[in-house]
Structure formats: structure tokens, C-alpha cells
Structure 1
Amino acid sequence: MAQLPDNPGVYLMRDAAGEIIYVGKAGSLKNRVRSYFHSPASQPPKVQVMMRHVADLEYIITRSEVEALVLECNLIKSYRPYYNINLKDDKSYPYLKVAVNQEFPYMTVTRQRVRDGSRYFGPYTNVGALQDTLRWLRRYFSLRTCRGGVWKEACRSRRPCLDGHIGRCIAPCSGAVSPEAYRVMVQELILFLEGKGDDLVHRLEEKMRQAAERLAFEEAAKWRDQLAAMRQVLARQQMATERTGDQDYLGVAHEGSLACVQVFFVRDGRVTGREHFYLDGEGGLDPGEALAAFIQQYYSGAGYVPEEMVLSLPPPGQEVMQEWLSQRRGKKVHLTVPVRGERRQLLSLVEENARLLLNTKAAGQRRETEGVLALQEVLGLPVAPGRIECYDVSNLQGSNAVGSMVVFRHGRAVKGEYRRFQIRGVSGPDDYASLREVLGRRFRRLQAGDPRFAAAPDLILIDGGKGQLSAAIQVMNEMEVGHIPVFGLAKREEEIFVPGTAEPVRLPRDSAALQLLQRVRDEAHRFAVTYHRQLRGQQLTGSTLDAVAGIGPRRKAALLQAFGSVARMREASLEELTAVPGMNRQAAGRLYAHLHSEGRLPAEGGS
């Protein structure tokens, strides 16, 4: 302790296994770390529990508290320590990317935010709503969608792709639009994404007026339709305040170790969007700390930092956080906590939304916990099964046989730990042998120390009855993991098959234990079938296109990029097939004839 410096920095606490279990920041490392040891009884219960597991401590000196905050945020994201408050599944949230670093920018959805000169908007929690937004944006802002080799080939040939032919893209690859005119369209898109809808409306009104003055009535009609659509979108955005400028309103609600932060995005007095996020804090959490953790983790990766954040309560270290946010924005950022007036009224609405969302989430988690505890009771398990793994196999008459492994932790799906297997050592439709192969590969990897299979299950569920269960027990005994409880759940009658018991267990349909097993089993089945269909689709697509002379790997990739499937290629006309970058009329004709089993080149204009 005497060697601790009186400097700002970050400290990392490790347990006996060397795992980082907590990361913290401090203006004075000496004072902050000493406080954990000099007055342990005065610490919150969560900290007292944590300190019983601390076996080692290290620290990193920084030049300022702001630097310490940035480093703390990065380390928490990297290690996701057990006792830190973590933004749930933050790596999976998608962004809307506008590649403004390109001569002709494109927009796409991505889950990777990198420093490549692009503009990123988000992250978004509702992927379906984001895809709907993207479709709307592509309809009214006809930016290119093709990238990579398809874009390069289209530029080389000066022939637009399918989207260009049907009017979904303005086709910059064909030279139909100058970089300057295209850039104006990109700027208008960004205005809309920034919530500056009123500015965009003024631009569209001016464009419509100028087109009408030139007697370009078709162009004026296009701007009129786009203007009407834009006004319809803006009409759905609730007016929030008379204030101008950009604010994010953040309300927090918490219960036990779970918190929900609701964000309203207000631009020029109008609510332009809203998102909600959940945070986990093992052993309970403080709402102020939860809000601070959210601001750090969310705005370190957000595409935009507003000039003001309106908060339901002051976060710890508010001044340092304000300085850090100002550095991120490049201008002054204010953190405010209103106590009255119109901003307080809107904030109350934000907080109410957070509370309703949290109640729904917490109720779901309680049901999941009840299911795990009920499962322990009805199956006579020594401990509650914290980690459940379920296995299923899928094939069609033995072809493209696959296996799936899904993971549920404390009753909740952990999709990042799902695994899938292509069956290699089984010929023909043999579910038992396929299941033995999947389980054998899984436990060999556990025994070999493969980090992707390092966690051992507390319970294994097999999708099937007596036969599948016997196959699983056989291979598990051979692998010397027979101590892990394993059960089968058969479809139709929903009977639970237990090793060493002749009669299956039948539970009431409303049993929390049965409902949990059904969710786990159905998820394993879905995951296996999805993978099987994916492999089968790839095989069918590959064999269909491979049979056509002149369709090599590059043309095959371009066709799949343009149409997505053989079924959509079959619906396309000869002109649409020819329009695919890299295709010519001769190759398109052969493909068209093969898809329609006509064996001849269709006539000009045929479909």
C-alpha cells in the first residue's frame, strides 16, 4: 500500500485464478485503493463480497482523470469483469454506417465500428426497426448498395446492377451522376439521420420550386413525393420542448442487479428516436453508478455526442465525465439534472418508460429463475443447473447432416456460446451415430482446453427419447464425463426421459420446469434446422450455377449478391440477368435457359 502513487489512474483486481474481477478509476490511486482495505466494514455489501475474492491488485498510472476514465471504459469492455456494471450484449448492437470516405458513399448496417472515416449512427437495439428504416432511406436516398468486387466491376463496365435498372439506386457506377451531385444527396441523408428533418424539408422545398421554375415537372414531382414522405415522418415525431439544439434525455430504473436506461434523442425540440439498454451489476447496483457506467460504455462508441445530456440524477464523477464527453464531441457538453419545468416533465416520461421496460424484463428473469429452481427439484439435481446445454441433429435422408449445441445460463439463452457441427463420420441418416459424434467432439475439445468449449455444463438436454438418450450416455461414459446429468425431452408427448428409469417423467403443461426445457429444446432444434437449410441451400445454389458454362466463381458471387437465391434468379428476366456486373448476354442467356429448362436462348426482351 505504501508504494501506491498519488496519481490518477486505473486499478485492476484479480482473483486467485488470475481473472480480472473488477476495474476502477481514481483521481488518487493511493487514496482510492486504501479505502477498500482501511474501512472494509463501511463498504457496501457488494464490495465486501468482492474483496473476499481479491488475491492480487495492479494499477496503471495516467496523466489525468479523463485519461483514467477512457482507459477504465476500454478495460471494462475488453474484460467484462464480474463485479463491474456491464452494458448487456453491447457488442451485438448494430450501427447504421455511411461510408463518407468514399467518392460515392454507400450506407449499410454493421456491428463493427472502426476508424475508417465513415459516419456511424447508433447503436440501435431494435434490429427489425433499423432494417425498416434502411429500406425507407434507400427508397428516398438512392445511394449505391453494392460494394467490393461487384462495385469495381460495375464501374469498369459502366453498366449498373439490378438496383440501378429498377430505380433503387441512382447508378453512380454508370456515370449518371457527378460526385458533387451525389455528395449533396449524402449530405441530405446525414441531415435526416442527425435529426435535422426541418432543415431537410427546406432544402426539398427549394429543389421543388427550382424544378418547377425550369418546367422540369417530372423532377418537381419527385421532390414533391419525397417532401410528402419526409413530412409524414416528422409528423410522427413528438414535439418535446421549445428549446433548440440537441439533447439526449437519460432516465434510469433499477431493481436488484438489473438496471434499464431509456434514452430519448431530442433534436431541435423534437423527439427523433428512442432506445433502451439493460445493465447488469452483480450483487446489486446503485442507480447513479449504473447511469455513469452507461454513459461511459455507450458514448465511447456512439456515432454522435449531443451538446447536452439531461439526466434523472447526477452520476458520480460528473465533472470528469463532462470533460471527457466534451473531448469526444470536440465542443462543450453539459450534463444537467432538471428539477422543474418542461424538461423535468419530459424526463419523467423517460423515467416512466425505463421503469415499465425494467418491470417487464425483471418479470421475465424471475420466470427464468423459477424454471431453473423447479428443474432442480423435479429432476432431483444436487444443485440448480446454472449452465444447460442442449443438442440436436438435423439431416434430410442423411445429406448435409449437422448438429447443434445451444447454451442457456440461469434460464436465458447465451447465443454467443452456441456451436454448430457438420457431421463428418456418419454416412446415411443415423441420428444416434450423429449425436455420438457431436457429443464426442464437444467433450474432446473441453478436455483439450479449447477456450471455445472451456465451460462444462451443469446439465445436458437431448432433443429426443430413449434411443437418443442412450447414445448420449454411451459417449459421455466413454469420454469420462458421465457425472454430468443428462436427460432427453421427446416431442409430441413432451416426456422427460431419465437415465436408469423405465417410465418417463410427465409434468403439467404449465410447469415452469417443463416450459424451460421446451424453450431450450426448441432453440436447439431451430439452430440445427437453420444450419442444415443453409448448407443445403449453398449446395443447391452451387450445383445449379456450376452446371452452366461460363458461370465461374466471380459471376456466381455477383449473381448471389444481386439476387440472393436461385429462386429469385429464376424469376428474373434476361435483361435483369445481363445487368449483373460481370455478366454478358451470352452467359445470361445460357443461365436463363438452364433455369427454365428450355435449352435455348430466349428471344430479345423475353422474360
Structure 2
Amino acid sequence: MTDPSSYRPARGSIPTDPGVYRFSDPDGRVVYVGKAKNLRQRLSSYFQDLAGLHPRTQRMVTTASSVQWTVVSSDVEALTLEYTWIKEFEPRFNVKFRDDKSYPFLVVTMGEKVPRALITRRERSKSDRSFGPYAHVWAIRETLDLLLRVFPIRTCSAGVYRRAERSGRPCLLGFIDKCSAPCIGRVSEERHRQLADGFVDFMDGNTGKWVADLKRRMANAAAEMDYESAARFRDDIQALDTVMSKNSVVLSEATDADLVALAFDDLEVSVQVFHVRGGRIRGQRGWVAELLDDSTPGDIMERALAALYEGTDTRAPQEILVSHQPTDPDAIRDLTGRRTTSIRIPVRGEKKDLLETVTANAVEALRLGKLKRSGDLTSRSKALEDLGEALEMQDAPLRIECFDISHSQGTNVVGSMVVFEDGLPRKSEYRRFSVTGEAARDDTASMHDVMTRRLKHHLKVKEQRASGELPTDPETGEKARFAYPPQLIVVDGGQPQVAAAQRAFDELGITDIALVGIAKRLEELWLPDEDYPLILPRTSEALFLIQRLRDEAHRFAISYHRSKRGRSVQESALDAVPGLGPARKRALLEHFVTVDRIRKAGEDELAQVKGIGRTLAQTIMATLAADQPGPAVNMTTGEILE
């Protein structure tokens, strides 16, 4: 515990301008980020008598050991920088919004030469158009399937598209007219982009003109007695009507609004958002966040809106209806780039009724969030405290790293490292290790190798920190990840694995990190140099946390091992080709995807790959042709089978 007076800056040294500040712990890790209109006034409030501070603020200032600030020119710059720093540093004492689940979006990749429609849960490029989020993935699949009748744009991946281009044959959707097949030239790229523009326009809510156009074309076809075309247009109209009917009308057709509501208790806040476009609910999403500071409802609403509109595809509508007024509405307007956006609390009518529905959803999400054990702050805090007590550590282990080894009968040996901070996974800090040579002979040698590599990095960072140089990324100049020391290292295994890891500790003189292993048989914990394991109660929160760590490390190791094994199987088929090294193998597989496609390629196609000349192309063709299995033969009749 740090005494805040030991790092309190002189009052006169703090500017009175607006700015953003951050508190850091002794390891240089940012633990809290805030913004203020007057930095001197705000920062001085943290260094008053501890008894007068909110308990969460007390915990923050006694965890930190330094404070820095950056002056900005406006409130909107302060809001943007605060959001950026919270996203970058993930401070443990900030309110961090995390989705209560990942939501699917319907995306059209308008930035590509041939746009593609896809369903994804990941962030996309700003040049793409996103629609959603949707509450259920099946709903968005139905929508996409119906719209492809009218706007048959491609939905295939880049690899499938390239294969179709090379083979001259479209995929299944092309055969059934759910894709216009630009890959084989059935339509031009310009015509395909027109279809994509129409798809986007319809999803933007401009539905009337497309339905009217189809009705006109149906009437013309019927007048010309082209009843087959008329029937097709009729089915297209029904498809569009079905898509529109799936989004319930809740407000007048001219209404574009986002409704944002908060629900609180002492530990957490729930945020729910309804996106209304053209009077219809087009999407819904929600977050649950732990209350780790003394933010007011206005502060939290401001941060929720910043998270909603800053750095995402979500565009601010004409109205933002909120349950709590944000602290600085003008800063939110500047952030969205729409100064005309109305941010208000509705007091009567249908908008007030709909906001009450959004609030009820927030209350229900908060209740369900409490049932999620891993998201319960009390449960996680107890698990960390119990674990530290059981292992006789001075403090609860706030950062834990867990290691596992995976292989197939001694081949393709890999190691995994997963990181939990404050009892939750930090996937950005996960690491993978490829183990080769003598270190791959068995599990204990592999564990020793992986642990040695990790601890050497730990010592390197420790030296940099002691010299006042926090490690940075050599390419970007930004703070490097993987830079903070763990308080506890867990290895997947029993006595042999723990002994191998401890040998790496001893060789490098590491004494400031605790070590423990977890064996699968009885879920017992093994400590270094102990003849008997530590048995935790089966209902222990600490055991539950260790099991989650072990299972996550195992999952991460298995996924890396499978990807490495898959690549090695493909590359091994090319081992017999003289003069074909690892780099050229990778180049061939990146271009042709499979060995079978390489085998079928001609000399000119092979020679187009970087590093493959005509002589080597001839060698590849001859070698793979010699390895081609002969036809299957019926051993009784001698007949060649198809």
C-alpha cells in the first residue's frame, strides 16, 4: 500500500487547463484514467485526507505510485483522449464497458473492389457498411438470405472467390442464382457494385422505392404476358416485405434515434441501447460494467456514449434519448460530428414509453449479470484472496500467468501462456511458443524451455524499468505489451512439470514470483520442493479460478498446435521436391491453397509465384506427378474403378 502524500505533485505545478490524467502503479501500469475541466482542482481532490475519500478512490490512490497529466485544448479532446487511454491501457479502477455478449452485425465490404456481404462479430474497416447489432444471429441470416433474392451480391470469402476465378466455376450460391457470380464474369464488377449499393440503400431504410420499382416491373411483365418474370418479381416483393415486417414499428417512420438507458447497483452498471431507424428497431446491444470508481450517472452515460460512437461504425442519429443526461452533451455532439443531434430525456409520449422498455432491459441484464460467476466482483476478489492465502503469498495475485504444453507424439510441440488480471482473461497478453530441437524431447524439457524464455524477458523488462526506460514497441514507439510481471505462475501438470519450471527459476535467480502446478487427476496443487500436494476444497473459489486458468491455457495450446500441424501436413507433401525451401513452400501454399491445386497447375501458373522459376516449376510438376497415386483397381476383376 502506497502513501498518496509520497507522490503528491506540488499544487502550483498542476495547470488549471482542461486535460486528462492517469495514475500508475510501481510497475508503470496505468491503474486509472480521468479527465477534468480544471486539472489542478480535480487532482487536488485525490490527495485530501483518506477518510474523506470514497472507498473505491481510497483503494485507487493507495495502489498508485505516480500521477501524470496531459493538457488539451477543449472538452471534446479530453473526452476523446480519455476514451483512447482507457481502451489502450485498460486501467483496473476505471468503469470498463464490456459487452454482455458479442453481437452479430451484417456488413457489406464497400471498400473492396468486389463488395461482399457477411455476418461478423468483429470490428470492420471504416470503409465498410455495418448494420445491426442484431440480438440473434439466426435473424440476420434470414434477412441476408431473403435480400440475396433481390440483391444477389457475393457472400464468399476471398479464398473461395479466388478459387472460383481460377477454375471458372461459381460456388453453389452462383448456381442457384443467390449470387450474381462476378468471379466468372456473369456480371461486370460495375454491375455488381450497383447491386451492393442497392443492398446498402435498402438496409439504410430507403425501402419504399425498391418495392415500388419491383411492383412496376411486375406490372409491365404481366402486361407483356411474361408471367414467369412477373412471378419472379412477385416473389422478390414478398421477400422484401418479409424483411421489413421482421423489424417492428415502434415510432413514426421519420424517426431516427438511439435510446440509451442505465441501471445501477452498488457494484455494477448495466447499459442497454436500442437503435431505431425509420421508426423500426434495427438493432439492440448491451454492456455490463463494474463500478470501480465514484463516477456519477452523468459521467457513466457520457462514457457509454463515447464507447458507442467513438472509433466504431455506429453513426449518431438525429436524436439520442437517454435515461440520464451526460455530464457534457456538447462534447458528445462534437465527438459524433453532428452538432444538430438532440440529446435529451423524453418526458412524455411514445418515446418515453420506449425508453422505459430499454430501461427494463437494462435492469434485467444487470440481474442476469449477477448470475454470471466469472463477472461477479465479490466472487473474483474472494477467489484471489483465498488463493493468495492458500499459497502463503503476501498479497492477492492480481496478475496470474498459466502455461501448458501440447504436441502429437512428440511432434509439432508448442507452448501456451494465458494471462488473467483481476481474475479475468487478458487475451491481448496471451503468447504462443514454438518448441524445437532438444527442448522438444519431452514435456518437462519443453516446460523448462518455455519458462526460461518467459523469465528471461521478465528480467530484461526489469532491467529496463530500473534504468527508467519502460519497454516500447520498436516499430510504433508505443508502450510494449507483455511488459508487466506476474505475481503467480501456474503450470499445467504435477511434480515433474513444477520441478522443470522451478529449475528455470533457480537458473535465472527469480525469487519474486510464486509458482504452482495443477494436476488433472485429483485437481491438486503442487508447490516446488514439496512431497505432498495442496488440496483445496471442491467448492473453493480459488480452485475454480485455477481450473479456469488451466482450461484456458489448454484450449489456447491446442488451437495453436492444430494450426501448426495443419500447415506442416501440407508442407510435408512438398518435402520431396528438390530445391524447394520453407519460404517457397509457404509462397506456393498461399497462392494455390492446397497441394492438389499445385499438382494440377501448369508450368506458367507455377512460374508466376514469387521465387519459382521455370526450371523449379518443371521440377515441382515432375516430382508431384511421380507421387500421384495410381487409379484404384478391383483386385478380383482387374477393372479400373472411377
Give the aligned partner of residue 429 of structure 2.
Answer: 417
Distance 1:50 1:378, change over 3 A: closer
Distance 1:6 1:409, change over 3 A: closer
8 Å CA contact 2:133, 2:284 repeated in 1:
no
Q: Distance in 2 between matches of 1:373 and 1:43?
A: 24
Q: Distance in 2 between matches of 1:265 and 1:22?
A: 31
Give the aligned partner of residue 324 of structure 2.
Answer: 313
Matched, 1:488 2:522: no
Distance 1:444 1:555, change over 3 A: closer
8 Å CA contact 2:19, 2:37 repeated in 1:
no
Give the aligned partner of residue 466 of structure 2.
Answer: none
Q: Distance in 2 between matches of 1:34 and 1:383?
A: 29
Q: Distance in 2 between matches of 1:252 and 1:93?
A: 19
- Tell me how far 1:33 sits from its aligned partner: 6.5
Give the aligned partner of residue 246 of structure 2.
Answer: 236
Give the aligned partner of residue 322 of structure 1.
Answer: 333
Structure 2 residue identity aligned to 1:10 = G
Q: Distance in 2 between matches of 1:255 and 1:531?
A: 41
Matched, 1:557 2:582: no
Give the aligned partner of residue 182 of structure 1.
Answer: 192
Single out whichever of 455-464 and 172-181 deviates more from structure 2. 172-181
Q: Distance in 1 between matches of 2:515 and 2:44?
A: 48
Q: Distance in 2 between matches of 1:495 and 1:41?
A: 42
- Tell me how far 1:424 sits from its aligned partner: 1.9
Of 16, 19, 24, 1:10 maps to: 19
Q: Distance in 1 between matches of 2:65 and 2:48?
A: 15
Of 491, 506, 514, 1:477 maps to: 506
Where does structure 1 lack aligned partners over 5 or more consecutive residues?
576-581, 601-605
Q: Distance in 2 between matches of 1:30 and 1:489?
A: 50
Q: Distance in 2 between matches of 1:123 and 1:10?
A: 34
Give the aligned partner of residue 60 of structure 1.
Answer: 71
Matched, 1:338 2:346: yes
Structure 2 residue identity aligned to 1:471 = A
Of 445, 449, 458, 2:457 maps to: 445
- Tell me how far 1:14 sits from its aligned partner: 5.0
Where does structure 2 lack aligned partners over 5 or more consecutive residues?
1-10, 462-470, 472-479, 602-607, 610-617, 633-640
Give the aligned partner of residue 516 of structure 1.
Answer: 545
Q: Distance in 1 between matches of 2:385 and 2:12?
A: 47
- Tell me how far 1:12 sits from its aligned partner: 2.9
What is the 5 A alignment of 1:78-477? 78-81=88-91, 84-88=94-98, 97-102=107-112, 104-108=114-118, 109=120, 111=122, 114=125, 118-121=127-130, 124=133, 132=141, 136=145, 139-140=148-149, 141-144=151-154, 159=168, 162=171, 166=175, 167=177, 169-179=179-189, 181-195=191-205, 201-210=211-220, 212-213=222-223, 220=230, 222-242=232-252, 244-256=254-266, 258-303=268-313, 304-325=315-336, 327=337, 329=338, 332-363=340-371, 364=373, 365-366=375-376, 367-426=379-438, 429-449=441-461, 451-477=480-506
Distance 1:129 1:407, change over 3 A: farther
8 Å CA contact 2:105, 2:133 repeated in 1:
yes
Distance 1:73 1:359, change over 3 A: same
Distance 1:125 1:209, change over 3 A: closer
- Tell me how far 1:161 sits from its aligned partner: 5.1
8 Å CA contact 1:442, 1:453 repeated in 2:
no
- Where 2:509 maps in the other structure, the secondary structure is coil
Single out whichever of 161-170 and 272-281 deviates more from structure 2. 161-170
- Tell me how far 1:475 sits from its aligned partner: 1.8
Distance 1:538 1:3, change over 3 A: closer
Structure 1 residue identity aligned to 2:254 = T
Matched, 1:539 2:607: no
Q: Distance in 1 between matches of 2:444 and 2:155?
A: 46
Single out whichever of 36-45 and 52-61 deviates more from structure 2. 36-45
Distance 1:499 1:223, change over 3 A: farther
8 Å CA contact 1:465, 1:488 repeated in 2:
yes
8 Å CA contact 2:20, 2:71 repeated in 1:
yes
Q: Tell me the number of residue pairs that the alignment of Structure 1 and Structure 2 aligns.
A: 581
- Tell me how far 1:334 sits from its aligned partner: 0.9
- Where 2:261 maps in the other structure, the secondary structure is strand
- Where 2:193 maps in the other structure, the secondary structure is helix
| Higher RCO (CA 8 Å, separation ≥ 6 residues) | 1
Instruction: Give the fraction of aligned pairs with identical amino acids, expressed as a percent.
Output: 33
- Where 1:453 maps in the other structure, the secondary structure is coil
Distance 1:306 1:521, change over 3 A: same
Structure 2 residue identity aligned to 1:376 = G
8 Å CA contact 1:398, 1:427 repeated in 2:
no
- Where 1:335 maps in the other structure, the secondary structure is strand
8 Å CA contact 2:401, 2:420 repeated in 1:
yes
8 Å CA contact 1:248, 1:306 repeated in 2:
yes
Distance 1:357 1:228, change over 3 A: same
Give the aligned partner of residue 603 of structure 1.
Answer: none
8 Å CA contact 2:54, 2:294 repeated in 1:
no
Structure 2 residue identity aligned to 1:105 = P
8 Å CA contact 1:138, 1:168 repeated in 2:
no
- Where 2:486 maps in the other structure, the secondary structure is coil
- Tell me how far 1:554 sits from its aligned partner: 6.4
- Tell me how far 1:102 sits from its aligned partner: 4.9
Q: TM-score, normalised by structure 2?
A: 0.75
8 Å CA contact 1:10, 1:23 repeated in 2:
no
- Where 1:400 maps in the other structure, the secondary structure is strand
Single out whichever of 67-76 and 285-294 deviates more from structure 2. 67-76
Structure 1 residue identity aligned to 2:424 = R
Q: Distance in 1 between matches of 2:625 and 2:268?
A: 60
- Where 2:194 maps in the other structure, the secondary structure is helix
- Where 2:354 maps in the other structure, the secondary structure is helix
8 Å CA contact 1:390, 1:463 repeated in 2:
yes
8 Å CA contact 1:121, 1:302 repeated in 2:
no
8 Å CA contact 2:56, 2:293 repeated in 1:
yes
8 Å CA contact 2:399, 2:486 repeated in 1:
yes
Q: Distance in 1 between matches of 2:628 and 2:142?
A: 36
Distance 1:54 1:430, change over 3 A: closer
Q: Distance in 2 between matches of 1:433 and 1:127?
A: 47
Structure 1 residue identity aligned to 2:343 = L
Structure 2 residue identity aligned to 1:348 = E
Q: Distance in 1 between matches of 2:12 and 2:400?
A: 46
8 Å CA contact 1:253, 1:259 repeated in 2:
yes
- Tell me how far 1:274 sits from its aligned partner: 0.6
Q: Distance in 1 between matches of 2:141 and 2:575?
A: 35
Distance 1:514 1:548, change over 3 A: same
- Where 2:521 maps in the other structure, the secondary structure is coil
